[in-house]
Structure 1
Amino acid sequence: MKYQLVHSCDEELYQFYLRQRTYFSLDVQEITYDYINQDMLGPEGFDERNHFHYKVYEHQTMIAYIDYMLGYRFSMKHDQSYLWIGLFLVEESLWHHHYGQRIIQRLCQNYSQYTIQLACLSQNKNGKAFWQAMGFKEIARSYWGHEEVIIFEKQSVEVL
């Protein structure tokens, strides 16, 4: 797999978002370039130099997208021992091909010194099952806008 760092939405990323119908059906937000670019911004006051967005490819085909921040955790903007996954999407047609597992395992290997956290929409049954299968544990519930989310956490070295 190859990873391409991106800083804003392009046509390929936009089309990728549009294909992820199952995930985006959980939220009524219309997918636009502006929506994606706004979604790529970190929380106010967060150092964007520690915020990364990657398109992931297999055989020149985009198969996934991951957005993560170093030094951010649930309810706190600055904690250098944490990594926050802001968004992780795998091409729906490739679910159950283990791409998601391989991408998260690689992330955990590359950042083994970090505790990894993320928020999963509570109604996202596929997402919850994936994170639980990867060994993430629910540590809290909160709200992202009007949507309830489950906060998952895992010491990355335990994922391996």
Structure 2
Amino acid sequence: MKHINNKFILEPVTDDLLKDVLNIYETNEEYFKISMNGKPSIDSIIEDKNAMPPGLNFNNKKYKLISINGQYIGIIDYIMNYPDEDTVYIGLFIIHGDFHRKGYGRAFIDEFTINMKEKGYSKIRLGVLKQNKNGFKFWSIVGFKVVEEILNTTHPERNWEIMVMEKMI
């Protein structure tokens, strides 16, 4: 595995960057077949960007492009202080298909984890769709453990079975 030395940069997704996000989404066809039974679109990006658990402060939500060496390589969507004050919840993490299995995802999550710990968080939590075997394998490798399994009710038509995973930091 190649070691990634350079720092990752997180950039807020503005309307003029939606096509860059779509490019990253489109290189993850398998994930979108599992998660939405179809292909991603600008509308699905806007839905992701605006999705929030009820009653939360939108200021705590971050939906960002990840770049390294001036190139967009991924997306991270996370909520700080959710579901409790010492937790960061990752709602979506996608690496561009050209960068899969080259160490970028792991290097980013390692850096992200250190950054969140420095901000005072003690835990990172996320949900992995049960059918997403590659996602589950990735999150397990980077140190996340299943804490519960739930049936998601946000999109009942999608029938999502979710493995909730956590990592203490």
Aligned residue number for residue 76 of structure 1: none
Aligned residue number for residue 125 of structure 2: 117
- Consecutive unaligned residues in structure 2, runs of 5 or more: 1-7
User: What secondary structure sits across from 1:26 in the alignment?
Assistant: helix
Matched AA of 2:163: I
TM-score by length of 1: 0.87
Give the superposition deviation at 1:7.
5.1
TM-score by length of 2: 0.83
Aligned residue number for residue 47 of structure 2: 38
- Consecutive unaligned residues in structure 1, runs of 5 or more: 74-78
Q: For the structure 1 residues 49 and 65, does the alpha-carbon distance in structure 2 shift closer, same or farther, using more than 3 Å as the test?
A: same
Q: Deviations over 1:46-95 (max 9, x none)?
A: 1110111111112322111101001112xxxxx11111000000112211
Contact 2:74/2:93, CA 8 A, preserved across alignment: yes
Q: Which of 1 and 2 has higher RCO (CA within 8 Å, sep 6+)?
A: 2
Give the superposition deviation at 1:29.
4.2
Give the superposition deviation at 1:30.
4.1
Between the aligned residues of both structures, percent identity stands at 26
Contact 1:7/1:53, CA 8 A, preserved across alignment: no
Between Structure 1 and Structure 2, the one with more helix by share is 2
Give me the CA root mean square deviation.
1.5
